[in-house]
A and B are shown apart, each in its own frame.
Chain A
Amino acid sequence: MKGIEVRNLVKNYGDVQALRKVSLTFEENKLYGLLGRNGAGKTTLLNCITGRVFPNSGEILVHGETALENDKAQQKIFMMSEKNFYPDGMRVRDAIKWTREFYPGFDEGYCMGLAEKFGLNTKKKIKSLSTGYGSIFKLVLTLSTNAPYLFFDEPVLGLDANHRDMFYRALLEKYSEKPFAAVISTHLIEEVAGVIEEVIIIKKGEIIRNQSVDELLATGCTLSGTAATIDSLIGDKNVLGVDSLGGLKTAYLVGQIDPSTLPAGIEIGKMDLQKLFIHLTNE
């Protein structure tokens, strides 16, 4: 069985249930977006899979083998975390050397080329890097490992628009050349909406959506018009949320509506990932 399988994963921090029986599969060669609000459990999930955190119960299988304390399984995954786990005084080039030791597919030439493209000085101490260059260092390292599963936790944290652009392009270039599975956990939903194929939405430790972006967006639509008309139309519908501006209203609906049944002046719109996310995860 290829892929990463997570079954009934539970992780508690004291009284806080960070993951509540999470089950999901990351298939090979697909780009996933892992979306959730702050504290939803995104990082905990990725940390459990990569063995940085021990779950209370549940199972994690990488190509059918347990991921817990299993080097062979862990070598298939590289995680770029938001936090820095590198020792004080370690330089970028030392981290590259150590990563190469553990990941046999590591491409040093590609790594140096990408570092240069981003203007990353490999002689610098990791601790002395700015937030942006800290992220750049980690994502350059991640893309160079050639591991079949790459986890990006907040990859573009602190990156300026130019560097974010470079990251998405580098990711897609690499992916087109030789596909891999990537899980991108990010708050910049609009930016990844077109890049990812599959989306997983996690809310308070539970997976509330897990499907392809196209499928998910096709499950909803927006209706805009005067407040009174919108109110009369949505009474019997499954409404995720509404935005009001004076006498105008936009309703976010689950399900599709036949435009020919709508009165004049009402506009039907496509749901976008960010809007849908906001309304699905609002308190």
Chain B
Amino acid sequence: MNLQDERPIFVQIAEYIEDGILSGAFPEDTQIPSTTEISVWYKINPATALKGINLLVDENTVYKKRGLGMFVSARAAESIRSKRKKEFFDNYIDKVVTEAKKLGLTQEELVAMIERGYDR
């Protein structure tokens, strides 16, 4: 994670936890790092860390166990994947096409490059 990133820090915190869920680092029904741990690790205000976690609570990605902390919801990885697929066009394709146009790459050339990416 790069906190110099243009996006708000709390959004990046939520994404970092999502990445952990997708990679299997935080499996279903296991605890995610606490607000304090995230705050100290990334040297950010605890309120910012909490805002990031709350983003995940709102999307039912994590849930609270009273007195224990935050845990990964059932099927969380699946719902993150489907959410990110929906955002894939705006987050990636749109930018790639804009850049390709700026460089004068044709549609065919761009498609060929994507195919080459799959061959790696």
Contacts and interface: CB of A to CB of B under 8 A. Distances in A.
Secondary structure class of chain B's binding surface, majority of residues: helix
Nearest to B7: A270
A194 B40 contact: no
Contacts of A168: 43
B45 A194 contact: yes
A121 to B, nearest CB: 26
B contact residues, range: 10 to 19
A93 B6 CA distance: 45
Contacts of B9: 194
Best-surrounded residue of B3, B40, B44 (most CB of chain A within 10 A): B40
Contacts of A165: 43
A191 B48 CA distance: 15
B39 interface: yes
Interface in B16-59: 35-36, 39-40, 42-48
Which bracket fits the contact residues of A? 10 to 19
A194 B6 contact: no
Given A194-B3, A194-B48, A269-B6, A176 B40 contact: yes
B43 A175 contact: no
Residue from B7, B45, B47 whose CB has the most chain A CB atoms within 10 Å: B45
Nearest to B43: A168
Interface in A184-205: 191, 194-197
A165 B42 CA distance: 10
B111 to A, nearest CB: 23
A143 interface: no
A169 B46 CA distance: 11
A195 B44 contact: yes
Interface of B: 3, 6-9, 35-36, 39-40, 42-48
Given A172-B46, A194-B42, A270-B7, 13 more contacts: A168-B43, A172-B36, A172-B39, A172-B43, A172-B45, A175-B46, A176-B39, A176-B40, A194-B9, A194-B44, A196-B45, A197-B47, A270-B6
Interface of A: 31, 165, 168-169, 172-173, 175-177, 191, 194-197, 214, 269-270
13 contacts: A31-B45, A165-B43, A172-B36, A175-B46, A176-B36, A176-B39, A177-B36, A191-B43, A194-B3, A194-B43, A194-B44, A197-B45, A269-B6
